[in-house]
Structure 1
Amino acid sequence: MMGKGSVNHNTRAFSAKNVDRERSVNNVKFCHKSIKKVYHELFDEALERYNAKQKRSDRKIDSYYEKIRQSKQEKLFHEVIFQIGNKDDTNVKSEEGQLAKEILVDFMQDFQERNPNLYVFSAHLHMNEETPHVHIDFVPFIRNSKRGLDTRVSLKGALAEQGFRGGTRGDTEWNQWIESEKQELALVMEQYGVRWKQLGTHNKHLSVLNYEKQEREKELWELQQTITSSREDLLDIYDRQDEARERIERTRERKERLEDEIDELFATSEELHSDTEALKETRNQLLSDNEELEKQQKKLQRELDKMVESKEIMEQNIHAYDEELRWQLPDPGALMSAKAYRDKKALPLLEKLKELVKNLTIKSVQLAETVKRLTDRVDTLESQVSYLREKTRDQRDRIEELEEKEINFEYLKDYLGKSEVEGIVEYARSKEQADREKERYYGRDR
């Protein structure tokens, strides 16, 4: 049977009028934990994961225990009571009552293993009332939930994960599970030689009024379970709507990001086109500069050749000064006076040497100026070559950067589809043109 759930009553923290305190020593405590600690144990990690995903602070949950305690859809815990016989045929003071105690203790041994989704935190067998019976308090939970916490409280979900699927109004998950546990209890009873005598109803000893009252309570419980199930379904719908809205928002944000990326890629494409034209112009200019450098190099070579030729001529002339008779001072004749030797031989040769030195000096200065001019020109050409090399290296780096952007643009076309990207690019171009027209129109008005 289903109980309202009172842990204090089950632990005998207080005693009702029908309780014989002297026989309380015969009670059996299977387990007893703090329900708050159980909630921490079961749900703290899931609560942390849930809160971490929330972008809005008002959707975060401070205490899952308090949330369920104040909930109108779920209960903090549920209680079920199992009893064998009644006060007339299985009284606690009789041998049958003691046998019933052993059967219930045996029945409880595998209860938690049979029900992995029902966390039993309090279970007590009472022998201080008229008939032996066991109170079992548990927290039903499910894992891998798609809404709310991924591990959360749910009686319907917990029983469904254990294989109990609701059918008609009278065939709820709870009723199916209760019937299954009764069958388990019946199997334990048979091991002790006790058979479950099913009379259609085991409450015929009740008065008609009490029986009908109990049936109404049963129907009310079933109706409450149906309402709870419907509320859970409604919450599922609400959560799915929230998830859909979040997905739409994420999709919208992603679309905006893609549009921004496409705008950037479109601008990059335009920049790539512009830079390509600039690179072509630069290439043509480099080719032209290279031709000019080749001409200047040839001219410089000719001038150097002239200098080499002049050097060779000078070397020949110098050799002539040492060997040719016309550059030698002749010996004086036997009868020639010193004055005549000076006037006729020495002074003419001296004048020729002065003229030669003068010409050589002028030629030397000219050659020095030519060398300086050519050296300056070489320095200028080397500087231009260095600049052009640096310019070429920068252009090569820029080309690699643009090629990488072009590859990214191709990746985007592969990901979104060529037609989709072309459509977005066309839209961006149209929008840009419309903005320019609008700016031109308003600019004319001003």
Structure 2
Amino acid sequence: MKRTISFMTGKGSVNHNSRKFHAKNTDPERSCLNVEYCNENVKDVYHELFDEALTRYNEKQTRSDRRIDDYYEKIRSGKQEKPFHEIIVQIGDKDNMGAKTEDGQLAAKVLDEYMQGFRQRNPTLRVFAAYLHMDEATPHLHIDFIPYTTGSKRGLDTRVSLKQALSALGFKGGTRRETELNQWVAYEKEQLAAVMLEHGIEWEKKGTHEKHLSVLDFEKKERAKEVAELEARKVELQEENATFQEINEDLHEQLLQVDDEIRSLQEDLQESRQEAEKAQKQADKYQKRMNELAPMVKNMEKLAADFSADPEQTLPEAAVMESAKSYREKKAKPLVKKIVQVMRSVYSAYLDISNKFTKLQAAYNRERSGNERLTSRLEEVLEENRELRIVAVDFGRIKAVVGSEQVNAVINRAKQQEQIEGEQKRAARRKHNREAR
């Protein structure tokens, strides 16, 4: 027995697939024979896959307009990626594998076995809805999945990407006909063919000279192939465009961050200069006051000591009309005590002003040193800004001259090389740690 394999792209109508409503081509009486493998809400699966990566991405954003509130809505409303993909898998057709026939039952069994291994083979294609339909003319599978990649260096580190998801499975793009998607479809057909063969069904690979097709059917099939190729190419171009968009966004983000740092440094520098000027003015004020007090306090401490040591030697004797004892006790000693207090108070004020001046001078020196460091950093950041803008312009030139496909290939090779080198370094560290123990 020979049968064809059909691998088509579906529209992804989850409500139709789960039979929340019936189309004209379905038989509700046979819907009980359908098999539901899984039926998860696509938005819930988005939260499961991308919430942690979204949090990490948003935490790194310095601008609120760069944050992503709802990743599913961003993908759904964007033009780079589809929120999810659907494939429809069928063996034979209604004439040789009708759902009501024994061969149709055999087809259902083969498709069921194929489905059991689909998720294990394709870990980067997160299946959230899958059905085997037996209530239409021919048994067939609907498989809805979200393709995603991890470890991305641009945008979310875990993000939606059909091209990268298939690349992680080992399907590398080549010519226009040999895209990642085409290679993956061909591989999955081989997997289905292997299951078919176990049940005595050979894969009938029809070429371009199918005699049993009418001219109109043949032309329709050829147009369908062309549409499929164009659709695959569209997906590939969208992936490439997404890559360049992410690179451009990354460069733009770096430029914005540098601009923010420049503004912050300029503000800090201005504030530091104002503080330095304020400190200098205050220091000048205390310097002026110190200069005024300097002649007054010169030898003041010595005078205070002389007066306080033996006032009797300094003061004259009492007048004739007043006894010496009375003069010294009631007038001389209190006067000397007050003079000493005034002298010490003036000297203490002088020391206080002198200390404040010293502290202000140190503060001024610190601010001046900070100014020099900020000025130096500002010059470095301005130079980084100029270099980033040159890189952005040069990248645009390379893209225009070399072409998107070649640049994308170079970027992918560089990523792969970085991953290989990173793994080699980690392996070397692990080996070193084991030997050290």
One fold, TM greater than 0.5? yes
The aligned amino acid for 1:188 is V
Question: 214, 225, 231: which is aligned to 1:218?
Answer: 225
1:51/1:211 Cα in 2 relative to 1: closer, same or farther (>3 Å)? Answer: farther
After superposition, the C-alpha distances for 1:306-339 in whole angstroms (9 at most, x for unaligned) are 279989xxxxxxxxxxxxxxxxxxxxxxxxxxxx
CA positional deviation for 1:249: 3.9
Give the match for residue 184 of structure 1. Answer: 191
The aligned amino acid for 1:362 is S
Give the match for residue 155 of structure 1. Answer: 162
Question: 113, 138, 146: which is aligned to 1:106?
Answer: 113
Structure 1 CA distance, aligned partners of 2:268 and 2:73?
A: 46
1:258/1:155 Cα in 2 relative to 1: closer, same or farther (>3 Å)? Answer: same
Question: 372, 382, 385: which is aligned to 2:344?
Answer: 382
Question: Which runs of no fewer than 5 residues in structure 1 stay unpaired?
Answer: 312-357, 422-446
The aligned amino acid for 1:83 is Q
CA positional deviation for 1:392: 3.3
**Partners of 1:279 and 1:395 within 8 A in 2:** yes
CA positional deviation for 1:54: 8.1
**Identity, % of aligned positions:** 40
Give the match for residue 427 of structure 1. Answer: none
Q: How does 1:360-399 map to 2 (within 5 A)?
A: 361-367=322-328, 368-399=330-361
> Please, what TM-score do these two structures have when normalized by structure 2?
0.67
CA RMSD of aligned residues (A): 4.3
Structure 1 CA distance, aligned partners of 2:362 and 2:213?
A: 93
The aligned amino acid for 1:139 is I
CA positional deviation for 1:178: 0.7
Larger CA Rg, structure 1 vs 2: 1
Give the match for residue 173 of structure 1. Answer: 180
CA positional deviation for 1:29: 1.7
For the residue of structure 1 that corresponds to 2:364, the secondary structure is helix
CA positional deviation for 1:216: 1.2
Give the match for residue 441 of structure 1. Answer: none
After superposition, the C-alpha distances for 1:104-163 in whole angstroms (9 at most, x for unaligned) are 222212322322332322211233445432121223344566666665544334333433
Give the match for residue 265 of structure 2. Answer: 258
After superposition, the C-alpha distances for 1:37-80 in whole angstroms (9 at most, x for unaligned) are 445555566667777858466x7777655555555554443221
The aligned amino acid for 1:122 is A
1:93/1:270 Cα in 2 relative to 1: closer, same or farther (>3 Å)? Answer: closer
For the residue of structure 2 that corresponds to 1:168, the secondary structure is coil
1:176/1:203 Cα in 2 relative to 1: closer, same or farther (>3 Å)? Answer: farther
Question: 33, 44, 52: which is aligned to 1:26?
Answer: 33
For the residue of structure 2 that corresponds to 1:361, the secondary structure is coil
For the residue of structure 2 that corresponds to 1:121, the secondary structure is strand
The aligned amino acid for 2:146 is V
1:261/1:128 Cα in 2 relative to 1: closer, same or farther (>3 Å)? Answer: closer
For the residue of structure 2 that corresponds to 1:139, the secondary structure is strand
Structure 1 CA distance, aligned partners of 2:29 and 2:285?
A: 104
CA positional deviation for 1:377: 0.3
1:54/1:193 Cα in 2 relative to 1: closer, same or farther (>3 Å)? Answer: farther
Structure 2 CA distance, aligned partners of 1:369 and 1:232?
A: 104
**Partners of 1:103 and 1:192 within 8 A in 2:** yes
Structure 1 CA distance, aligned partners of 2:146 and 2:209?
A: 28
CA positional deviation for 1:383: 1.5
- For the pair 1:3 / 2:9, whether they are aligned, the reply is yes
1:250/1:75 Cα in 2 relative to 1: closer, same or farther (>3 Å)? Answer: closer
**Partners of 2:315 and 2:332 within 8 A in 1:** no
Task: With a CA cutoff of 8 Å and minimum separation of 6, indicate the structure with the bigger relative contact order.
Answer: 2
Structure 2 CA distance, aligned partners of 1:88 and 1:45?
A: 50
The aligned amino acid for 1:217 is A
Paired residue total: 373
Structure 1 CA distance, aligned partners of 2:211 and 2:48?
A: 44
Structure 1 CA distance, aligned partners of 2:288 and 2:42?
A: 81
CA positional deviation for 1:219: 1.4
1:417/1:248 Cα in 2 relative to 1: closer, same or farther (>3 Å)? Answer: closer
The aligned amino acid for 2:338 is D
Structure 1 CA distance, aligned partners of 2:327 and 2:290?
A: 39
**Partners of 2:179 and 2:236 within 8 A in 1:** no
